[in-house]
Amino acid sequence: MKVRRVVVIAVALAVALVPTAASAGTLATQYTRSYAGHYVTHTFSTGSIVTPVTLPTFSSLSQTTTGIATEIRIYSSIGEIDLQLGADPQTATTYTPTIEAPGFGGPITCNGIITPGNDTEQVVLQSPAITGGLNQINWWPNINGPSCSIDFNSTFTYSSVAFVGTFNPKTFHAPPHPITLASFGQIQLSENTASGALLSSYNHGRLIATSTGTKTGIVGAKPSALINGSSFTVTIP
């Protein structure tokens, strides 16, 4: 009998999250060369993001690219923060958690690994403990194992959050049939301990990857429509 894994990804951060229902709207589709998904915009302070994600197995992607990741991207007044579960599907047997935040002060430390499969992973972003003006993000891709942390020397605000699947466009080869790059379950964003609001409750839009990073390029990855206002998959092509 299969033993079901429950993996929890937790991140402590400063991010405000609940707009009024009337403010929600559909934003323009944006085009990239290496990632696809959905994004929301709002002025953020403190809050949380919760979404189950399913990490794809490597066999389906090994002939398509040398790099993949399931990511949450946070755009702030002092730069971008990428929370990643990534791997080279041609050589890896596990995913590695990382935080990319170029230009930020303070060390970034990560440890641990996560095994891919069909089980549901849990992603949780929580409000930070700010002591003496220090802004800190703590991320637990597995509450019983892998973790990452990053310290900042000042507080700041967030303007956008994106949920994406990424690939390496330099080694990309379109597969003969669509395959899953990333899968996000019911995304809920909430302020402090308030009830979560669905992704569609915010100003939101799609991100589509093409060969040129423009609307006229060949599509490499695209998100599905939002299911029940908050769930979607990213497929190649």
* Model pLDDT, residue 14: 40
pLDDT at residue number 143: 62
pLDDT digits (tens, 9 = 90+) for 50-74: 777 888 999 989 999 999 999 989 8
Q: Which single residue is written with the structure tokens 């609940």?
A: 18
Domain 7-236 coded CATH 2.60.120.1270: yes
Q: What does pLDDT average to in each consecutive run of 10 residues of the chain (237 residues)?
A: 34 42 77 97 71 86 96 84 91 90 76 72 47 60 73 71 96 96 86 72 96 98 96 96
Interatomic CA distance for residues 98 and 101, integer angstroms: 10
Judge whether 135 and 128 are in contact, CB under 8 Å: yes
Q: Where are the domains of the chain?
A: 7-236
The reported pLDDT for the residue numbered 3 is 29
Cβ–Cβ under 8 Å, residues 162 and 151: no
Rounded to 5 degrees, what are φ and ψ at 52?
-75, 140
What's residue 148's pLDDT? 80
Terminal CA-to-CA distance of the chain, rounded, Å?
34
Q: What are phi and psi of 23, to 5 degrees?
A: -85, -15
Quote the pLDDT of residue 128. 44
